[in-house]
Structure 1
């Protein structure tokens, strides 16, 4: 089954790390992306680069910034193949953001 790992990080999370911790975290992200169970992975541009689009009354409305105003920001995504939720949780627990004040949301992917 496929699961999406939505990786949320605190805005200042990276700044709080030493250079060595930052390099180690990047290495962990690369290891996760290269895991055979990883279907796709991507780091997202900073939240300030977000553009929101809504259509209301036939008009397209565009806003700057994320959809939700939260403490953590969506910083990356990873699509994985896992046997079950327990395996997806094990993979998510290896995401550095989960240890450094962020969180990883796991969502099953709907197969069509």
Structure 2
């Protein structure tokens, strides 16, 4: 089964505040996750301040600056695994999960 992982960076995370060695360690950890077999990395999502949230109300398109959620998705990836436990194990390796952010794991399945 395919699982989607939405990576939420901590709101106050500043990569520029890391030392060079800390930054290199985090970058290496992300690289190791994306090099894992059956992982398909997605594109980085960009900064929340640049997001536009779109709704349609009474037939009219309404936009609002910013992300839909308080914590914006920083990136996503797909992972094919036999169980959700394997997906959770991979999610725990993603640096954002231990640096104050979170990783949401969802089965990729139609529900409509």
Return the TM-score normalized by structure 1: 0.87
The answer for the alignment partner of 2:98 in structure 1 is: 99
Residue 9 of structure 1: how far off its partner (Å): 1.2
Query: Aligned partners of 2:72, 2:53: CA distance in 1, in Å?
Result: 14
Structure 2 gaps of 5+ residues are none
Return the TM-score normalized by structure 2: 0.87
Cα root mean square deviation, aligned:
1.7
Kept after mapping to 2: 8 A contact 1:2/1:80: yes
Kept after mapping to 2: 8 A contact 1:33/1:41: no
SS in structure 2 of the partner of residue 79 of structure 1: strand
Q: Within 5 Å, which residues of 2 pair with 1:1-112?
A: 1-13=1-13, 14-68=15-69, 70=70, 72-110=71-109
Kept after mapping to 2: 8 A contact 1:10/1:73: no
Flag as ranges the 4+ runs of structure 1 deviating above 3 A.
none
Structure 1 gaps of 5+ residues are none
Flag the structure with higher strand content.
Answer: 1
